[in-house]
Amino acid sequence: MMPVRHDFSDCPDGGISIQSYSYCEVFAEKIRALKERTRPRDLYDVINFYRRPESREVAGDVKSILAKKCEFKGISLPSLEDLDQHKQICASGWFFDAIDSARHLGVSRARVTQVLARLKE
């Protein structure tokens, strides 16, 4: 059970808890998914997880969880070379896939363009 942050006066005594994956679990799963399927939404999520300050604090936990996930799936840990294999696919269609995926998430075309441009850095 994970506590739900609720900063309003109507929060019940004892707070609110739900069953959910931990931050580390979700981050590790997104990295694994990025290696296996290389979808724009996974790349977008991994970049945003990486940029969050708390990610630095839990990097070891994320790597440990990721290693277990990869072992279970029978795959190696992701590397930059893995993403490099998908470069042509990315160049040919990612931008439009990213725009389409982002629209469903309420993310603007300008924001997607900004994120994809930063990948070239």
46-80 pLDDT, tens digit per residue, is 888 988 998 999 999 999 999 999 999 999 998 87
- 13-22: long-range pairs with CB below 8 Å, 24+: none
pLDDT at 24 over 60: yes
Whole-model pTM? 0.66
Query: Which residues on neighbouring strands pair with residue 18, listed in sequence order?
Result: 2
Q: Which residue pairs, CB below 8 angstroms and at least 24 apart, start in 26-32?
A: 27/55, 27/58, 27/62, 28/62, 28/63, 28/65, 28/66, 28/69, 29/69, 31/62, 31/66, 31/78, 32/66, 32/69, 32/70, 32/73, 32/75, 32/78
Q: Is residue 109 a contact partner of residue 119, using CB atoms and an 8 Å limit? A: no
Instruction: Name the band, by pLDDT with cuts 50, 70 and 90, for residue 28.
Output: very high
Task: Report the alpha-carbon distance of residue 27 to residue 58 in Å, rounded.
Answer: 10
